[in-house]
Amino acid sequence: MPYAELSQLGTPFDLRGYTWGRYRDMSMLFLLSELRYTFQSAGGGLSNHGAVAWVGTGSIASDFISFESWLPSFGFGYRLQVQPRMNVRIDVGIGRETSGIYFNLNEAF
């Protein structure tokens, strides 16, 4: 299998807090739980500001049976809706002996 096609763990889309591409192998398994919250505006409706917190774990292996080393991940983030369907995302992810800051535009809240 080409190196670029291997499963990757630690991207901005799964276990945030790890260097993208550091963990690659044939099989990947991860569990991620996120809690998202949209703040209320002064008028009682929903505002354009939100927050997110997550916790997760994952592992990669050469086959689907030998998952051994599990990586933890947790963090928090801020969401700002600039206009409908256009959001700004800023996340801080923390992993085992590493961390990362993520910035993204056009992310669905």
pLDDT in tens, 21-47: 889 999 999 999 999 999 999 888 999
Chain centre distance of CA 60 = 16
Structure tokens at 31: 């569990």
| Cβ neighbours of 4 (radius 10 Å) | 8
pLDDT given for residue 75 in this prediction? 96
Tokens of 89: 């995302």
Q: How many domains does the chain have?
A: 1
pLDDT at residue number 109: 52
Dihedral sign, Cα of residue 53, residue 13, residue 21, residue 65: positive
DSSP 15: S
* pLDDT lower than 50: segments of the chain: none
> Do 46 and 25 form a contact (C-beta atoms < 8 A)?
no
- Which structural domain, as residue segments, surrounds residue 32? 3-105
Least Cα distance to 90 among 37, 10, 12 occurs for 12
The predicted model scores a pTM of 0.83
pLDDT score, position 62: 86
CA distance 109 to 93: 17
